[in-house]
Amino acid sequence: MSEYLKKTWVVCLLASVSCFLWGSAFPGVKIGYEWFQIASGETAAQILFAGCRFFLAGILVIFFGSFTSGKLLKPAGAEWKHAALISLFQTILQYILFYIGLANTTGTKASIIVGSNVFIVILTASLIFRQEKLTREKILGCVIGFAGVVLINLTPGGMVLAMSFGGEGLVLLSTVAYAFSSVIMKKYSKTDNPVMLSGYQFFIGGIVMMAVGFCMGGRITVFSAKAALMLLYLAFASAMAYTIWSQLLKYNPVSRVAVFCFMTPVFGVLLSTVLLHESEQVSLVQGGAALILITVGIVISHREQKEPDRC
């Protein structure tokens, strides 16, 4: 199993599946807000909604992980601390900072800042945790891939470069939190079951986010069958994507997996165009060019790998 998950084509396929699921959350969350009647400026309700989503994601991961292993997945001893620490960075800090920051900036700026998380993950893994070497191929691949993220988010009116700590600053801090969660997951998955860590970090983070959102005054008062199904899908997407991602991180260098994060905003924009009919958001040529840049960035960053198989 470990050797199989190290194969380049397997990493490409599974990482792309994860990014597609994360990308589908962009329009999914917007649709969920509409069906639950959560206004765009209701940050507390959005945090509460996200908490419900991640709590359900944790339940799903724990249930299916326990079912496939034939026993209840449950942290023991220090594993509780490991799951809680991952949850602090991966779910609690990342998403609370993101939602608050998003309320004070534009979606385009937020998407581009989030796209920079690949740089931050690789720098964190290489320079702080010393889990791998920082190479020219990784840097060049990141630069080209990030250019694709910027391109997919360009609008006819261009972008305003002004920044504020309460907006773009908090979104940037959320990407730092994600970077730390990735390298911490890589570290702990060497000895702990990554599926168990995924399930319980969502479970813990979901409870904390629900409490934070509720204490901030957030409420969800509108319920319907279709809204509940959308919430369940978003929980499934998070559960499946992060479980796959954690398995890839366990058996591969962080940078080899993280570079695929450039695909997430592309999938998000393209799926939003289809599902939300946001036809003015991106043209076919623009989306294709962005995808080519990101693909080239991924290939370059993988070029140092000496395996015979390729994407």
The distance from CA 90 to its chain's CA centroid, rounded to whole angstroms, is: 9
Q: What is the pLDDT of residue 116?
A: 75
180-228 pLDDT, tens digit each: 999 999 999 989 999 999 999 999 999 999 999 999 999 999 889 999 9
Round to the nearest angstrom and report the end-to-end CA distance of the chain. 19
User: pLDDT higher for 284 or 6?
Assistant: 6
Half-sphere exposure of 255 (CA within 13 A, CB side): 32
* 146 Cβ contact list (under 8 Å, min separation 6): 115, 116, 118, 119, 262, 297
248-306 pLDDT, tens digit each: 999 998 888 888 887 887 788 778 778 877 655 556 677 677 778 777 877 776 665 54
This prediction's pTM: 0.84
* pLDDT band of 130, cuts 50, 70, 90: confident
Share of the chain above pLDDT 70, in %: 88
* pLDDT band of 310, cuts 50, 70, 90: very low
Q: What angle do CA 131, 22, 49 make, to 5 degrees?
A: 110
C-alpha span between 166 and 307 (Å, rounded): 45
Contact present, 108 and 155 (Cβ < 8 Å):
yes
Q: What is the pLDDT of residue 307?
A: 45
12-36 pLDDT, tens digit each: 999 999 999 998 988 898 899 999 9
* pLDDT band of 91, cuts 50, 70, 90: very high
Structure tokens at 300: 């370059």
In eight-state DSSP terms, residue 253 is -
